[in-house]
């Protein structure tokens, strides 16, 4: 099968097109023909220096799939050959990512693709959308009428977080560079704040009439101290990176901090699907490239300036 593999860590030029053996579905697994593969910042981190992920070389990276089930391994129930599915492959120790014509996964982490989404769109959801869902819906448990602060609202996770918080009935304050404020508003943010504004904390506090936001979500890293300042007593904060800096206000204000790191499960994808089916959330696609141009996608990831998902078209 066609695959873009790496045999060492480095720049976007480390990808090589190879014809590799098609993987086979073991017990409890499904073999999926990849139609589209999403790309995420974590892909670039692993490509650069991913020894921590314990992936044996040659490695196929890629952690977002939309495709069609080609074969069922022993003991798989609930899926049929030909089902359109989407999911995010495991990272740790997994050399069979989504930058290839076929990939295998435990059936437990796979879900049916919403019918109204193309494979290109669906491939943009599982990793970033799942992370945002875990934080906004499961951990922060955002409720109607609350005000939620989302740091890095124009990024992959932040874009979904804004939409999920709005769907939950919250008012959303989102941060991004001023150049991305129109994008924040398109996603549904009620207030856009430039994270480089030295008065950002004051601005956010003023937007809540001094009360503080009910919940904050740091998708960018380094914003937990600011979040403790602008979140109300007994408020909640979620982060997808290690919290650093002065966290004193976390205890003086009786706040709760949720560390969030995506675990793989089909159930979460099934929870999220209705929002996409009803049009309450959508995928922002930045560009579509053929699988063989994965290096270009990684140049875009390395720049940190993506505004939406870069999707690889792998099959039809």
Q: Which residues bind a second copy (CB under 8 A)?
A: 139, 233, 239-244, 246-261, 263
Please report how close the Cβ of residue 52 comes to a second copy at its closest, in angstroms.
10
Backbone torsions φ then ψ of 251, nearest 5 degrees: -90, -40
Closest CA to 101 of 6, 15, 32, 5: 32
Closest to a second copy by CB, 50 or 114: 50
Closest to a second copy by CB, 96 or 228: 228
CA–centroid distance for 153 within its chain = 12
Q: Is 73 left (phi over 0), alpha (psi -120 to 50) or beta?
A: beta
CA–centroid distance for 312 within its chain = 16
Closest to a second copy by CB, 164 or 276: 164
Pairing relation of β-strands 84-87 and 111-112?
antiparallel
Please report how close the Cβ of residue 250 comes to a second copy at its closest, in angstroms.
4
d(CA 192, CA 112): 35
Rg (CA), the chain: 20
Please report how close the Cβ of residue 254 comes to a second copy at its closest, in angstroms.
6
Closest to a second copy by CB, 79 or 258: 258
Please report how close the Cβ of residue 207 comes to a second copy at its closest, in angstroms.
23
Closest to a second copy by CB, 51 or 242: 242
Please report how close the Cβ of residue 42 comes to a second copy at its closest, in angstroms.
13
Please report how close the Cβ of residue 30 comes to a second copy at its closest, in angstroms.
25
Closest to a second copy by CB, 127 or 192: 127
Closest to a second copy by CB, 128 or 294: 128
d(CA 211, CA 228): 13
d(CA 212, CA 206): 8
Please report how close the Cβ of residue 151 comes to a second copy at its closest, in angstroms.
14
Sign, CA dihedral 122-124-126-132, equals negative
Query: Is there a contact between 101 and 127 (Cβ–Cβ < 8 Å)?
Result: no
Residue 81 DSSP code: T
d(CA 125, CA 64): 8
């Amino acid at each position: 099968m066609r695959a873009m593999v790496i045999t060492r860590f480095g720049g976007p030029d480390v990808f090589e097109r190879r014809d590799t053996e098609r993987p086979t579905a073991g017990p409890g697994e499904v073999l999926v023909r990849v139609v589209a593969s999403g790309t995420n910042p974590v892909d670039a981190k692993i490509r650069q220096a991913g020894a921590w992920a314990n992936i044996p070389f040659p490695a196929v990276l890629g952690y977002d799939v939309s495709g069609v089930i080609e074969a069922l391994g022993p003991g798989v129930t609930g899926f049929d050959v030909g089902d359109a599915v989407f999911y995010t492959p495991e990272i740790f120790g997994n050399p069979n990512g989504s930058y290839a014509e076929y990939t295998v996964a435990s059936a437990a982490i796979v879900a049916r693709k919403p019918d109204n989404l193309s494979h290109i769109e669906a491939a943009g959801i599982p990793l970033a959308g799942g992370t945002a869902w875990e934080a906004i819906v499961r951990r922060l448990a955002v409720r109607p009428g609350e005000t939620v602060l989302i740091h890095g609202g124009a990024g992959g996770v932040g874009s979904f977080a804004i939409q999920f918080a709005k769907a939950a009935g919250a008012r959303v304050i989102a941060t991004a560079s001023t150049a991305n404020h129109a994008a924040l508003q398109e996603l549904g943010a009620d207030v856009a704040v430039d994270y480089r504004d030295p008065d950002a904390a004051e601005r956010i506090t003023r937007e809540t009439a001094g009360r503080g936001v009910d919940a904050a979500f740091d998708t960018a890293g380094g914003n937990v101290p600011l979040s403790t300042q602008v979140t109300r007593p007994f408020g909640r904060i979620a982060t997808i990176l290690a919290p650093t800096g002065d966290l004193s206000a976390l205890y003086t204000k009786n706040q709760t901090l949720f560390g969030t790191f995506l675990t793989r499960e089909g159930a979460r994808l099934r929870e999220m699907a209705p929002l996409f089916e009803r049009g309450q959330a959508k995928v922002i696609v930045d560009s579509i490239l053929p699988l063989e141009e994965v290096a270009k996608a990684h140049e875009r990831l390395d720049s940190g300036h993506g505004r939406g998902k870069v999707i690889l078209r792998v099959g039809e």
